[in-house]
A and B are shown apart, each in its own frame.
Chain A
Amino acid sequence: MSDETPVALRGITKRYGDLKANDSVDLDLRKGEVHALLGENGAGKTTLMNVLSGVLAPDEGEILIGGEAVTLRSPKHALTLGIGVVHQHPRLVEALTAAENLFIGWDVVPGLFRRRSALVERANELGKQYKLELDMEARGWQLSIADKQRLEILRTLTRGAKVLILDEPTSVLTPAETQGLFDLMHRHRDEGESVVFISHKLREALSIADRITVMRHGKNVKTLERSDADVDMITNLMIGGEVPTASRKKTKAGDTVMEVAGLTVQDDRGDDAVRDLSLTLAAGEIVGVAGVTGNGQRELTEALAGLRAPSAGRINVAGKVLAGRSCRAFVRAGVGFVPEDRLGTGLAGSETIWRNAIMRRYGADQLTRGPLLDQAASHEMARKVVAAVKLSADDLETPVRALSGGHAQRLLTGREMEVGSKVLILAFPTRGLDVSAAAYLRQTILNARDRGIAVLFVAEELDEILEMSDRVVVMYEGLINAEFEGEVDREAVGRAMGGVDRSARGGARTEAQA
């Protein structure tokens, strides 16, 4: 078989119950190319790569390596055949050092017993060799996300990966780190090997790839050369039609509803995640918080919702002092919160829809009769919540985990809009949702804002933030280091996200791509 095609997938099908996550997918990789695999959330990219890397067994189809059909028994087996994956969230053992992580399952320092330092020495050697250097003696939890990723790439390369698969690697990187990653990908390609770059970020794929494959609904829609591709065509292939653009009324922001001053919040380790942060939210405006994940957004939203007590600072809503008070107090003050962790924190997965719908208000007088739950009133409230977000109220007894991601998020948002009569805080609300679910959610949020609710919207997709927000603030290392209003300069925001400069306002707004 041709040397040009080291890896090929033929007719790969993978089912989960009735759903076809991959539907007869064919894919060829060439030597010496960067191949971008594009698609929206749920298109089947990660499943396909799990099949290719030996994590999952396909229900149908075959994998050809060097022209021969193989059955991949495990990720390790796949690695011995030259296929290595670096996952979106780097998989490191937090409690062990970087050097130890590098050598798990790999007998690289000979001899039964060895000095601890031997491991570190060898790790440093390898780091130099592949130009992926980092502090090998740091423990996993001490490393930055970018370093974790580099360690994982190093681990994959040193075990002989020829086909390097990177799953959504840039979602956790600053612009500067992303460039470093791209340089690495080019180096690997220039040595004659292949890189598969999985993403839903169109622009990045176009800037780095030699060939592009677009997936939608589990199928390979098209594979084309970079030179044949442009933004509109790819967008069309990815979502198969018109993008529903959100409609927004032109409104003027009202009075200040939420005042935050000098807020300092610790993370789970006790370090300051939010430092002396100040912010205001006005009625009927959406304030978008941009920033690379891990700069304190989660701790900020948890503090503003009452889930995490700040160590210093003020949080006032409509005059009421809330900082340090219970979650209940925040709910009573009209602060709704859609947390990042949907099914773990926001919703109780094994519980029914109606019991989730009343969760934030469960002890209230109108829902109880003495120590007992008022079933009728609770069901009534649940019906209202469900109707408000256009979910069918057929079976309120369904457990929430049986709902699709989009529906679960709708339920959660609907409930929090009922709670959040004054303020609504959303943390990464469209993450992991498919296009139509995400679009519906965005419209729902805009409707809330049109009704006069103050919205704080934290997201990682810059495009989304720019589309949705009236004002944009950028979080970097626990502080707000930039604020933008009106026409927003994308480049300026990107720089602020990377901590490069603290810029002011202005700049022409670039066309946002949905």
Chain B
Amino acid sequence: MRDGLVSASIATAIMAATPVLIAATGELLAEIVGIYNIGIEGAMLIGALGAFIGVQQTDAVVLGMLAGMIAGALASLIFALAVVVFKADVVVGGLALVFLGFGLTGLIGKDYVQETASATIPHWDIPLLSDIPFFGEAFFEQMSISYFAFLFPVGAMILLYRTQHGLNMRAIGEDPGAADATGLSVNGWRIFYVSVGGAFAGLGGASLTLGIVGTWLPNVTAGQGWIALAVVIFASWRPLPLIAGALLFGGLGTFGNVAQVEGWSITPEFFSALPYIGTLLMVYLLALLRIQRGGGAPWPAALGLPFFRGTD
């Protein structure tokens, strides 16, 4: 294989991992407090469109990304209210969010299809580091947002394991009754972090329409929101392994390009399926290892269960 191809592939893998990693970090925060949001795919789409419209209206990338985050947060807020306040079922609510996302973005976005973004996310070549042969091209010539994407999980780690608030969050997800008894607002924080998760999903979507793809297409996320869910499972609900999971996904996606360039004679559809096959195998393998090793469930004990005060 040509030398330049490997480093270019790594760079592409990092780029491809970015939306998933951002969305996964946000979803992790939501799941740590006990709510899993399968509507994250819908939130990501809404954020992607919101960011695109934002940019088309303001010509400013940062404002566009902000618009995407707000859009994603608002959409997830509806889901959060339905599930946390009205005790709707978590899966049903998530599906509703997906349908809403798909439908609303198709509706509103129809005028924007294939338009060129008037501003895109800039690439930041890190001075000095990007001049290193091979490594420079591979790691340090990314979109600006990608660097943040890799910092977010570190921030999550500090938040969850080194601060009082993080301890409170973990308690809420493990045993909401106990957390409530100490005065923490279980429902309040759940609504908050689901919305935060939505904001992250929206940012991930923005990185697609304003960066990787550069335009709006219906269903531009193509399941990456759900891949983010799988990455959270793969990471056993810990922040740092999210990076590995997202990179694996991103890496698998680049095989298609490599195959094209190298002229391998494997059908293209196999490569479009590869990221999903790979993600699935990743999760299964890890589950198998977990069972062999023994030990308890890695997920927050109260994940997905509604909380009522006064019942044990």
Interface residues of A (CB under 8 A from B): 50, 55-56, 74-77, 79, 87, 89, 91-96, 100-101, 103-107, 109, 112-114, 116, 141, 155, 159, 270
- Measured between beta carbons, the chain A residues less than 8 angstroms from B181 are 75-76, 91
Q: Is there contact, CB below 8 Å, between A94 and B174?
A: yes
Cross-chain contact of B180 among A75, A116, A159 (Cβ < 8 A)? A75
Known: A79-B183, A93-B175. A105 touches B309 (CB 8 A): no
Q: Is there contact, CB below 8 Å, between B179 and A104?
A: yes
B164 in the interface (beta carbon within 8 A): yes
Q: Is there contact, CB below 8 Å, between A94 and B301?
A: yes
- Measured between beta carbons, the chain B residues less than 8 angstroms from A113 are 158, 162-163
Q: Is there contact, CB below 8 Å, between A93 and B171?
A: yes
Q: Is there contact, CB below 8 Å, between A92 and B175?
A: yes
Total B residues in contact with A, Cβ cutoff 8 Å: 25
- Measured between beta carbons, the chain B residues less than 8 angstroms from A100 are 167, 171
Q: Is there contact, CB below 8 Å, between B164 and A75?
A: no
Cross-chain contact of B162 among A76, A77, A114 (Cβ < 8 A)? A114
Cross-chain contact of B178 among A74, A91, A114 (Cβ < 8 A)? A91
Q: Is there contact, CB below 8 Å, between B178 and A92?
A: yes
B310 in the interface (beta carbon within 8 A): yes
List 16 additional contacts besides A74-B309, A116-B162; criterion CB under 8 Å: A74-B180, A74-B183, A75-B182, A75-B183, A76-B182, A77-B183, A93-B170, A96-B167, A96-B170, A104-B171, A106-B182, A107-B164, A113-B158, A113-B162, A141-B296, A270-B294
B184 in the interface (beta carbon within 8 A): yes
B269 in the interface (beta carbon within 8 A): no
Distance between Cα atoms of A89 and B183 in the complex (Å)? 19
Distance between Cα atoms of A93 and B163 in the complex (Å)? 17
Digit string of B150-184 for contact with A (CB within 8 Å is 1, else 0)?
00000000100111100110110011011111111
Chain B's closest residue to A102 (CB) is B182
Known: A92-B175, A113-B158. A56 touches B310 (CB 8 A): yes
- Smallest CB separation, A508 vs chain B (Å): 41
Please provide the 6 A-B residue pairs with the shortest distance between their CB atoms, ordered closest to farther.
Answer: A76-B183, A105-B182, A104-B171, A91-B178, A105-B184, A93-B175
Distance between Cα atoms of A319 and B158 in the complex (Å)? 62
Known: A93-B175, A113-B163. A104 touches B312 (CB 8 A): no
- Measured between beta carbons, the chain A residues less than 8 angstroms from B301 are 94-95
- Measured between beta carbons, the chain B residues less than 8 angstroms from A109 are 164
Distance between Cα atoms of A107 and B167 in the complex (Å)? 10
Q: Is there contact, CB below 8 Å, between A104 and B178?
A: yes
Known: A76-B183, A92-B178, A113-B163. A105 touches B171 (CB 8 A): yes
- Measured between beta carbons, the chain B residues less than 8 angstroms from A94 are 174-175, 301
Chain A's closest residue to B298 (CB) is A95
- Measured between beta carbons, the chain A residues less than 8 angstroms from B168 are 104-105
Q: Is there contact, CB below 8 Å, between A104 and B184?
A: yes
Chain A's closest residue to B176 (CB) is A93
- Measured between beta carbons, the chain A residues less than 8 angstroms from B161 are 116
Interface residues of B (CB under 8 A from A): 158, 161-164, 167-168, 170-171, 174-175, 177-184, 294, 296, 301, 309-310, 312
Q: Is there contact, CB below 8 Å, between B294 and A104?
A: no
- Smallest CB separation, B187 vs chain A (Å): 12
Cross-chain contact of A112 among B163, B170, B171 (Cβ < 8 A)? B163
Q: Is there contact, CB below 8 Å, between A55 and B174?
A: no
Q: Is there contact, CB below 8 Å, between A93 and B183?
A: no
Distance between Cα atoms of A95 and B296 in the complex (Å)? 9
Instruction: Give 19 CB contacts A-B under 8 Å.
Output: A77-B183, A79-B183, A87-B312, A91-B175, A91-B181, A92-B175, A93-B178, A95-B301, A100-B171, A101-B171, A101-B178, A104-B168, A104-B179, A104-B182, A106-B164, A113-B163, A114-B162, A114-B163, A159-B182
Q: Is there contact, CB below 8 Å, between A104 and B167?
A: yes
Distance between Cα atoms of A438 and B109 in the complex (Å)? 67
- Smallest CB separation, B102 vs chain A (Å): 34
- Measured between beta carbons, the chain A residues less than 8 angstroms from B174 are 93-96
Distance between Cα atoms of A114 and B165 in the complex (Å)? 12
Distance between Cα atoms of A87 and B182 in the complex (Å)? 13
Q: Is there contact, CB below 8 Å, between B310 and A50?
A: yes
Distance between Cα atoms of A50 and B310 in the complex (Å)? 8
Chain A's closest residue to B158 (CB) is A113
- Smallest CB separation, B71 vs chain A (Å): 30
- Measured between beta carbons, the chain B residues less than 8 angstroms from A56 are 310
- Measured between beta carbons, the chain A residues less than 8 angstroms from B184 are 76, 104-105
- Smallest CB separation, A210 vs chain B (Å): 27
- Smallest CB separation, B114 vs chain A (Å): 46
Q: Is there contact, CB below 8 Å, between B309 and A55?
A: yes
- Measured between beta carbons, the chain B residues less than 8 angstroms from A50 are 310
- Measured between beta carbons, the chain A residues less than 8 angstroms from B162 are 113-114, 116
Distance between Cα atoms of A359 and B296 in the complex (Å)? 31
Distance between Cα atoms of A56 and B168 in the complex (Å)? 23
- Measured between beta carbons, the chain A residues less than 8 angstroms from B178 are 91-93, 101, 104
Distance between Cα atoms of A93 and B176 in the complex (Å)? 9
Distance between Cα atoms of A270 and B181 in the complex (Å)? 31
- Smallest CB separation, A59 vs chain B (Å): 14
Known: A75-B183, A92-B178. A55 touches B170 (CB 8 A): no
- Measured between beta carbons, the chain B residues less than 8 angstroms from A74 are 180, 183, 309
Distance between Cα atoms of A103 and B312 in the complex (Å)? 21
Chain B's closest residue to A268 (CB) is B296
Known: A95-B301, A114-B162. A55 touches B171 (CB 8 A): no
- Measured between beta carbons, the chain A residues less than 8 angstroms from B310 are 50, 55-56
Distance between Cα atoms of A95 and B163 in the complex (Å)? 17
Q: Is there contact, CB below 8 Å, between B171 and A96?
A: yes
Chain A's closest residue to B177 (CB) is A91
Distance between Cα atoms of A91 and B312 in the complex (Å)? 9
Distance between Cα atoms of A259 and B170 in the complex (Å)? 48
- Measured between beta carbons, the chain B residues less than 8 angstroms from A104 are 167-168, 171, 178-179, 182, 184
